[in-house]
Chains A and B, each alone.
Chain A
Amino acid sequence: MTGQMSAPINIRDLAAGTSIVLADGAEAEIVDNPGDGIWLFARYLSSPHDPSLVGQEEMIFVQNVVSIGTATSMSSRA
């Protein structure tokens, strides 16, 4: 069977501090969730394609979130 999909993530349920994996393989930590089901405010923890993004905060579009991450947040590492 090809194209198996993982269960969709309800991003409205995700709390600040949760790590998320993005479509391009980057991982980010949620800073704030406005609860609109469309956007998350998150800070990049890693970004293989563009390392300059690490540490930056951005609005993340729901369709870009592919899974819940496992990375330790930058704040807890500190």
Chain B
Amino acid sequence: MTMNRPRGWRRGLVDLDVGEVSREIFVNEEIYAEEQERIFARAWLHVGHESQIAKPGDYFVSCMGEESVILCRDRANKVHVFLNSCRHRGMKVCRYDEGSTTVFTCPYHGWSYGTDGRLVGVPYFREAYHSRLDKEKLGLVEVAQLANYKGSIWATWDPAAPPFTEYLGGFTRYLDLQLDGWDGREGQAEVLGGVQKWLVPCNWKFPAENFSGDTYHNISHRSVDLAGIGPSGAGRRDMGERDVSRKLHVCVPDRGHQTILYVLPADKLPPPAYMNAPIVAEYFRHCEEERRRNRGEEARLVGAPGEIFPNTALLSRQPRTMAGWQPRGPHQTECWRWFFVDRDAPSEVKNFLRDYYIRYSGPAGMTEQDDMENWNYAHAASRGTIARRYPYNYEQGHGTAVTDYAYQGLRVPGEVIDLTEVQSSEQPMRNFYRRWAEFMEAGDWSQLATWRAVRKAAE
């Protein structure tokens, strides 16, 4: 593989037959610029949660790739996502992180927009524009499509992108583990506190790959395991449920989404957890019983780190959090972390979880700090002329995935590798980079929605 030709994206930089990915895709500025157009301007991206904008006028300033966007609820209670940029000279019309307002006023020349995006105020409209400016055409730029999936808000700039649930494919099952109540009721999650944001000097694909399901790097977290930050005072998490489960890698091959998954035996409830806090332990014990009642066999699924292509990470259990890996140039990522609780949970439970979550994740989280250190130094050590000549290796578990996996009567669709004995595979990373390469090569969504052609051929 000849590596030192930094001329943007080209075939061969991702070679999944061999199991190699060029370092260029992490450090090359032309490739990074192409990603903004080919991936972030076309994919569905996570923007926020409706609990962050509970009342009319509430807003949360989010981002989609490099673009600053405003997630807001207008006076008529409709949710919008707008580009946070004035139509006059491009100034951000909102420079706060969140709040409530009646208008977004550009501080540069004063153009002002309603929470429905309409341009409602233009200084000297009558005098300087002679009332001729067509305000109807100059509202805030709105995303092409928006989806509210069980309270989580997603958007895309591409009008040709498939509907969000089609984009997810079978991965809705794993997003449900994140957003549904612990007792199995639909869409019971709310965001706990604010969103934690911090910068890491690495390419956005380092954390995206890691959260796709890297079970190989647990050595990085040995010190945290020894410190015993878990909710029962040992390890990082309560591992009892994992010890009795099958541990899987599950990939949705034509979508680029992947996750670690635990499947409990048919006849077992998860062992007790949160044993350092009786109220919390009792809450989760009760919820687990309800979950079995509400969800039946599906309640045997236990979520773990996963990734929705391109840059949204899920972690539905201990801690329950979603992350966005926001690109800030090829060499920097702004990590955003949302923490979730059941909105009906007792305050004692929410408070306990808040302490545990920030002990684990985020810029002060002990486990996340281990990860950041890896991504930081791996990126820095991949930028040099010599380093770029040597691709990363992704051969682990190559060719061992199955598509008909079932455990004690519960079928798990997708490409699956049972890790219970083998411990680790790089199937999720291969799945992620396969989709990444498809996005970088495809001209439009007619080429990206490969499953539609397969379905049509089958008919």
Contacts and interface: CB of A to CB of B under 8 A. Distances in A.
Contact of B105 (A24, A36, A63, A64): A36
B101 A34 contact: yes
Contacts of A39: 103, 105, 110, 112, 121
A61 B102 contact: no
A61 B123 contact: yes
Contact of B112 (A24, A38, A63, A64): A38
B61 to A, nearest CB: 16
B86 to A, nearest CB: 13
Interface in B109-123: 110, 112, 120-121, 123
A67 B232 CA distance: 66
> Is chain A's binding surface mostly helix, strand, loop or mixed?
mixed
Interface residues of A, number: 10
B124 A36 contact: no
Nearest to A24: B127
Interface in B144-169: none
A59 interface: yes
B130 to A, nearest CB: 13
Given A38-B110, A39-B112, A61 B103 contact: no
A36 B124 CA distance: 18
24 contacts: A24-B127, A34-B101, A34-B102, A34-B103, A36-B101, A36-B103, A36-B105, A38-B105, A38-B110, A38-B112, A39-B103, A39-B105, A39-B110, A39-B112, A39-B121, A59-B112, A59-B120, A59-B121, A61-B110, A61-B121, A61-B123, A61-B124, A62-B110, A63-B123
| Shortest 7 CB-CB contacts between residues of A and residues of B | A61-B123, A59-B121, A38-B105, A36-B105, A34-B102, A38-B110, A39-B121
Given A61-B110, A64-B123, 10 more contacts: A34-B102, A38-B105, A38-B107, A39-B110, A39-B112, A59-B120, A59-B121, A61-B121, A61-B124, A63-B124
